[in-house]
Amino acid sequence: QVELVESGGGSVQAGGSLRLSCTASGYTYSSYCMGWFRQSPGREREAVAALGTDGSTWHAESVKGRFTVSRDNIKRILYLDMMSLKPEDSAMYYCAADTSRKGSAGSCYPVVRYGLGYRGQGTQVTVSS
């Protein structure tokens, strides 16, 4: 049973920082695609970052230079470090993993773009101006 549990969300002012964590269990952690997407009411799912099984990364243009996806294979935690937060970053952030997909970040992109595989319950990020 694959389980993903996000944490680390909260309310911050514009310009602030947060670190989101996603603790994974139920599968061989480092062997499959993982990433983050976000969604807010009335808006479509937005892919934020993907992490390939080769360690390569992809970040959306809207967050490039501000957000960084990484993982700790020993602790089985996927991170999303967010800095210089903007009000438009406010959303529910979800961790996603697809145990049927491996490869570079580009190959893993569909996991976060289309919500493939498994996802957690989400963690809310609210950025005030």
Q: Which amino acid is at 61?
A: E
In the chain (129 residues long), the average pLDDT of successive 10-residue segments reads: 94 98 80 93 94 95 98 91 97 94 92 92 97
Q: Give one DSSP letter per residue of 52-120, joined into a string.
A: -TTS-EEE-TTTTTTEEEEEETTTTEEEEEE-S--GGG-EEEEEEEETT--SSHHHHHHHHHHT-SEE-
pLDDT number for residue 49: 98
Q: What's the angle, vertex CA 2, arms to CA 123 and CA 94, rounded to 5?
A: 20
For residue 5, give every residue at least 6 positions away whose Cβ sits within 8 Å of its Cβ, in sequence order, or none.
22, 23, 120, 121
- pLDDT one-digit tens code per residue, 33-70: 999 999 998 899 999 999 999 999 999 999 999 999 99
pLDDT number for residue 75: 85
